[in-house]
Amino acid sequence: MPEENEIKDVENKSNQILFCYFVVVVLLGLVAVGVVVRAFNTAFVEKEKWLKVAESQKRPDRLVLPGRGNIYSADGKLMATSVPRYYMYIDFKADGFAKDTFLRSKTHGIDSLAIYLSRKLKNRTPAGYKTHLMKGYNNKSRQYPIYEGKVSYSDLKEIKQYPFLRLSRYKSGFYTKEMVQREKPFGTLASRTIGDIYGEIEKEGITKGKNGLELQYDSLLRGQAGLSAVKRVGGGWTNVVEIEPVDGMDIHTTIDINIQDITEKSLLDMLKSIDAESGTAVVMEVKTGEIKGITNMARIRPGVYAETKNHAVADETEPGSTFKVAAIMVALEDGVCEPGDTVDTGNGVYMYKGARMTDHNNHRGGYGKLTVEQSIWNSSNIGVAKTILKGYANNPTKFVEGLYRIGMNADLNLEIPGSGRAKIRMPNDSVLYWSKTTLPWMSFGYETQIPPIYTLTFFNAIANNGKMVRPMFTREIKQNGKTVKSFSTEVVKSSICSKRTLDMVKSMLVGVVKEGTGKAVDSEIIPIAGKTGTAQIASGGVYRTSGHQVSFCGYFPADNPDYSCIVVIRRPHGTPSGGLMSGAVVRSIAEKIYANNMAFDIRDVQPDSLLVKMPPVKGGPAKSVEKALDKFDVKMQKDSLDTEWTTAYTDKEHEKIVLKDLVIHEGLVPRVIGMGAKDAVYLLEQAGLQVALSGSGRVISQSIQSGQRVSKGQTVLLTLK
* CATH code of the domain covering residue 707: 3.30.10.20
How far apart, in Å, are the Cα atoms of 269 and each of 273, 277, 309? 6, 13, 19
- What element of type H or E holds 13? helix 2-40
Is residue 22 included in any domain, yes or no?
no
Which band of pLDDT confidence, cut at 50, 70 and 90, is reported for residue 706?
Answer: confident
Question: Residue 713: what pLDDT?
Answer: 80
Query: For position 429, which CATH number holds?
Result: 3.40.710.10
Q: Are residues 482 and 559 in the same domain?
A: yes
Of 187, 222, 183, nearest in space to 84 by CA: 183
The CA distance from 344 to 348, in Å, is: 10
624 and 488 in a common domain: no
3-class SS of residue 241: strand
Asked which of 46-55, 166-175, 245-254, 705-714 is least confident by mean pLDDT, the reply is: 46-55
Q: Which of 484, 473, 475 is nearest to 246 (CA)?
A: 484
CB neighbours (10 Å) of residue 550? Answer: 28
Dihedral, CA atoms, 140, 142, 146, 151, nearest 10 degrees? 180
- Given a cut of 80, whether residue 56 has pLDDT beyond it is no
Residue 612 resides in a domain: no
Q: Answer yes or no: is 102 within a domain.
A: yes
10 Å Cβ neighbour count for 513? 29
Whether residue 240 is found in the same domain as residue 167: no
310 Cβ contact list (under 8 Å, min separation 6): 192, 193, 211, 212, 296, 416, 418, 419
Q: Are residues 558 and 657 in the same domain?
A: no
For residue 556, which phi and psi values (nearest 5 degrees)? -155, 155
Let me know: does 437 contact 425? Beta carbons within 8 Å.
Answer: no
Whether pLDDT at 266 is above 70: yes
Nearest to 717 by CA among 687, 683, 692, 681: 692
The pLDDT value recorded for residue 558 is 95
Q: Are strands 645-651 and 226-233 parallel, antiparallel or unpaired?
A: unpaired
The pLDDT, as a whole number, for residue 545 is: 58
Is residue 266 located within the same domain as residue 128? no
Question: Can you give the pLDDT at residue 163?
Answer: 92
pLDDT digits (tens, 9 = 90+) for 25-48: 777 777 777 777 777 676 666 667
- Same structural domain for residues 57 and 180? no
Q: Are residues 566 and 650 in the same domain?
A: no
Query: Is residue 456 in some structural domain?
Result: yes
- The DSSP symbol for 491 reads E
Alpha helix ranges (H) inside 230-304:
257-274
What sign for the dihedral angle of Cα 594, 595, 601, 605? Answer: positive
Q: Are residues 166 and 206 in the same domain?
A: no
pTM over 0.85: no
Say yes or no: 573 and 698 in one domain: no
Q: What is the pLDDT of residue 640?
A: 62
Whole-number Å distance between alpha carbons of 241 and 111: 41
CA atoms of 401 and 390, how far apart (whole Å) = 16
Between residues 295 and 715, which one has the greater pLDDT? 295
Judge whether 332 lies within some domain: yes
For 4-8, 279-283, 546-550, which range has the lowest pLDDT when averaged over its residues?
A: 4-8
Comparing 532 with 627, the larger pLDDT belongs to 532
Domain residue limits at 107: 78-185
pLDDT of residue 218: 85
Of 559, 580, 596, the residue that ends a domain is: 596
Domain match, 107 and 64 both = no
Q: Which of 596, 630, 654 finishes a domain? A: 596
Model pLDDT, residue 524: 93
Give the pLDDT of residue 604.
64
pLDDT tens per residue across span 476-531: 999 988 999 999 999 999 999 999 999 999 999 999 999 999 999 999 999 999 99
Q: Highest mean pLDDT range out of 14-28, 63-77, 413-427?
A: 413-427
Sign of CA pseudo-dihedral 570, 571, 576, 582: negative
Integer Cα distance of 199 and 221 in angstroms: 14
The whole-angstrom separation of Cα 659 and Cα 220 is 69
SS3 272: helix
Give the number of domains in the chain. 4
Q: If pLDDT is split at 50, 70 and 90, which confidence band does 600 have? A: low
For residue 62, how many other CB atoms are within 10 A of its CB?
A: 16
Q: Which of 151, 185, 219 is a domain's end point?
A: 185
Note whether residue 550 is domain-resident: yes
Q: What is the mean pLDDT of residues 237-266?
A: 85
Whether 486 is in a domain gets the answer yes
- Kindly give, in sequence order, each residue whose CB lies less than 8 Å from that of residue 439, ignoring residues fewer than 6 positions away: 388, 389, 392, 393, 396, 399
Is 507 in a helix, a strand, or coil? helix
pLDDT of residue 570: 94
Domain check: are 121 and 245 in the same one?
A: no
> β-strands 423-424, 355-358: how paired?
unpaired
Residue 198 pLDDT exceeds 90: no
Q: Are residues 499 and 647 in the same domain?
A: no
pLDDT category of residue 3 using cuts at 50, 70 and 90: low
For the segment 362-396, what is each residue's pLDDT rounded down to a tens digit?
989 999 999 999 999 999 999 999 999 999 999 99
The amino acid at 559 = D
What is the residue-averaged pLDDT of the chain? Answer: 86
Indicate whether 159 belongs to any domain: yes
User: CB–CB of 704/716 below 8 Å?
Assistant: yes
Structure confidence by residue, pLDDT tens digits, 422-452: 999 999 877 778 889 999 999 999 989 999 9
Looking at the predicted structure, is the pLDDT value of residue 614 above 80?
no
